[in-house]
Amino acid sequence: MFHKLTKTLASIVSLMVVVASLAMAQSSKKGGLDDTITYEQGVVTTMDNTGMATVQTDRGVQYVVPGKGLKVGDKVECTTKEGQTACDKAS
């Protein structure tokens, strides 16, 4: 009887360890929305001849981003995720 109870408890604990480690791995892959993505608004201040746009955000930060479809003076919404910034024309 004691052997059967010990075996059952060991199985339950092992299962809990596997489930907990999978849950931790899944949450670390997702990352928090606030930790990895930032949103800003700005204005295109310059365009160069290679198609890159300089964007000045409302906070005063400047980004150089691909400017396809943008022109100087356009209002844009910028998203920064994992160190990469992209700006799209504001709607």
Structure-token pair, residue 52 = 């890159």
Residue 23 has what pLDDT? 72
Residues for the chain: how many in total?
Answer: 91
In CATH, which of 3.30.590, 3.40.1130, 3.30.160, 2.40.50 is domain 33-89? 2.40.50
Give the strands of the sheet with 84-89, arranged side by side: 62-66, 52-57, 37-47, 75-81, 84-89
Instruction: Tell me the HSE value of 64 on the side-chain side, using a 13 A CA sphere.
Output: 6
Taking the domains of the chain in order of start, what are their residue ranges? 1-30, 33-89
Q: Could you list the pLDDT tens digit for every one of the 91 residues in the chain? A: 878 888 888 888 888 877 777 777 665 555 554 467 889 999 999 999 999 999 999 999 999 999 999 999 999 999 988 888 999 999 7
